[in-house]
Chain A
Amino acid sequence: MELRKSYFADVRKDDLHEIGQPRPRSDSPGHVTGKTAYFADRNFPGMLHLKMVRSPHHHARIRSIDTSEAEKHPGVVKILTAKDVPHNVYTILILIQIGPEDETVLADGKVRWKGEAVVAVLAETERAAQEAAAKVKVDYEVLPAVFDMEEALKPGAPLVNEYHGQNYYLYDSGECRKVRFGDVEAGFAGADHILEQSYQSSPIEHAPTETTGCVVAPEGNDRFTCYTNTQAMFFTLDNASIILQMPGSKLHFVGGTVGGGFGGKVDVIVEPIAILGAKLTGRPVSFIYSREEEMQISSPRAAEKVVIKDGVMKDGRIVARKVTGYTDAGAYSRHSPYGAQKGAGHYPGPYTIPNVWIDTYCVYTNRTPSSAMRGFGVTIGDFALEVQMDKLARLIGMDPLEFRFINAYRDGDMKAHRQPTEGAALIECMQEASRAANWPVAEKYLTMSSYKNGA
């Protein structure tokens, strides 16, 4: 790595003692010698293991659940169903007033994706819990499912989630989050070229080294200590408090170094049910995802579809950009309405474009709920935007890097969401990339600046 101090030297004081120093990480020796304690290193006498009975269907009505055989299985201590969960229908962003509550801790009457949790089995060993889970009999009436976002948005499509009432998230702005800036149709009308293209991604797994999980210990004072690898301590505690209808003062969450998060550990899935198990049995409970659960049950990065229509001039100026983004939330909201909305604030990318129209939709389908992942709302949008930029440059016969210099935002430029640009540095990054990659651009681009008026 190289620090290129020549850029922005006039606005930066390099007079600090500790900041800017490559101090060795205090936790590294523990990591590399295996001494760092993770939540799963907690082991309590009498600890029970929780395993989930999961839906084998993408969409089905539950006619009945029979746990009688499973209860007789040696080592089984407790079996939990929807009726045991005090506030079973929840949504995590309710803490910041983003509803409605649309998801069940344990399925109640219906499953909406293959892998959804239906029954929780607590047993003396992991093996006993697993074997007993296989003995739980659930009678399903399979329902038509929808997997494709366009299909889901058509009239007459199977309804994925009754708590929403339609297969998209309803924002206060309507069926999508909108940004309107300038006159995009007038921009297209005056453009030398129009290019409309569609981009698609597939769900992606966080693949942390350490799978999602927690260990809960009942304390002598009516409190519960939850050792967890959540990325957000109070967010998880407060949601657990709502789901369990238990005062937050009864809960003590202890985290520590997490073995990789990448956004995969902010969904509040394992903690509430494990605490409930500990409460109802009076014994410590461990609930840790298998690698298979981490891969297919825990929320992935949402699949997205992005349609971009641009109007561009022969001289390289983009004069109009219309973006329609679709985020596949799967069966439940989790963080996806937030992600889709983040996309609306991110488009049209770091370029100054006078006419912009943005619609971002959060769509429900019968698949594993998607949620947060490193850069969600932006990552796939950037893929679409930057491939589109390459296509536009080639369309007008311009070098792709020079084309970006022409459109790059600078301090003071008004963004589509009506905030003036501050602290821009795209131009300087491209100048340095031109040098480092030996990708020549015309001299006039090398003397540009992100500062207002190029000064």
Chain B
Amino acid sequence: MAIRRGRGVAAINYPTGMNLGGDPTQALVHSTPTGNFMVTLSSVDLGQGMKQIMAQICAETIGVPTDRVVVDTADTDTGPHCMGTFASRGTHRAGNAVIQAAKEARQVMLEVAAEELEVNASDLETDGQGNILVKGAPQKSISIFDVALSAHFKRGRSISGRGMFLIPRSYPEKETGAMKPSTCYAHACTVAEVEVDDETGEVTVLTVKNVFEIGRALNPKMVEQQLVGGSWMGISHALYETTEPYYPNRDHGGTDFNQYLMPGPGDLAETEIIVLERPSADGPYGAKGPGEMCANPQIPAVANAVFDAVGVRIDTLPITPERILRALKAQAAN
């Protein structure tokens, strides 16, 4: 009887957005009188930080600092339609809608600035700090604060824009299955290292090294929180969780966190996250949807590591100590 060590690898991809498309999202953007920007959506922030990301996308597109953007969302009386926050679609779909709306608002903003500065709008650029400058002559400039005041009270212009993003729905061909499930895919490769106690069947995940390719890390800190959380969820799926421990038998389903097992802080592996960025052709600033993908590769990587450690295959999830011990027993009997 011994503690045995093993490691396993898995590589995966994941489609962004609702399978087969047909999932629209809209956004509205407008300026307040003093040049702050309001993004209006009906998308839902699940705690992953969608509001923050939409603010950064709007800020980048308009050319202002993020703290001048406010996001109003999840109210059906004010926000235009969004299909919902699921299918790794929030950033990709709503982000594209925000970019389109923000571009339209930016164009009006530049037109008003052009009138004030008596130049062509196409000769203007933003400095990202809240000012609009004449290209090549940055001493000739006007603040967005002043442009918004002028638009509201002098020029009678609405600095606003509408955005809509829709990938047309694909219908699978009946006989061949020819279809377009998605327009972009995120990628991952995970290496997991485990220890298996061949006396108790207990698995300890020592390290998980995840490489994720996500198109563009729009906010690296938020990318990190989502990818680390996903990686933990993957380990939990691999080794702990189910509402029906003896599926398809319906008995013994957990009804609270004493009975429904999940790893606690002490059970979590040393987790390494490495991010690659290959911008997607149709993503907002190249972003793809990594929200679901990041919880997938750990499951097979852990399963393969368990085999590497003790030489038995557990092809049924979750990989519980009971299943490992039964497999070891069967192996010894052969």
Contact = CB atoms under 8 A, between A and B. Distances in A.
Contact of A204 (B237, B256, B281): B237
B220 A1 contact: yes
A18 B276 contact: no
In this complex, the interface size class of chain A, counting residues with CB under 8 Å from chain B, is 35 or more
Contacts of A448: none
A235 B82 CA distance: 8
B219 interface: yes
Contact of B187 (A300, A389, A426): A426
Chain B interface main SS type: loop
Interface residues of B, number: 123
B243 A230 contact: no
Nearest to A12: B279
B221 A22 contact: yes
Contacts of B3: none
A262 B232 CA distance: 14
Given A27-B49, A147-B250, A177 B172 contact: yes
A378 B187 CA distance: 13
B222 interface: yes
Given A18-B65, A205-B243, A380-B317, A386 B279 contact: no
Interface stretch (A71-79, A116-124, A131-139, A428-436): A428-436
Contacts of A257: 45-47, 51
Contacts of B260: 205, 207, 295
A27 B45 contact: yes
Interface string B154-191: 00000000000000010010111111111011011111
Given A12-B286, A261-B46, A401-B9, A231 B86 contact: yes
A234 interface: yes
Given A202-B245, A258-B46, A295-B256, A404 B11 contact: yes
Given A202-B242, A365-B248, A429-B188, A252 B77 contact: yes
Interface string B197-234: 00000000000010111001111111110011000010
Given A231-B86, A418-B178, A433 B44 contact: no
Given A3-B275, A27-B49, A374-B291, A417 B181 contact: yes
A178 B280 CA distance: 28
A23 B60 contact: no
B274 interface: yes
Nearest to A304: B317
B211 A432 contact: yes
Q: Across chains A and B, which 10 residue pairs bring their CB atoms closest together, nearest first?
A: A232-B84, A179-B177, A386-B300, A255-B74, A345-B181, A437-B191, A17-B128, A202-B242, A386-B10, A22-B221
Given A22-B222, A386-B301, 11 more contacts: A19-B216, A19-B219, A58-B250, A178-B176, A199-B315, A252-B77, A258-B46, A262-B46, A345-B182, A379-B299, A433-B9
17 contacts: A2-B275, A21-B219, A23-B56, A31-B47, A201-B317, A202-B318, A207-B260, A232-B85, A234-B84, A261-B47, A342-B19, A342-B181, A350-B13, A358-B177, A417-B172, A436-B211, A439-B191
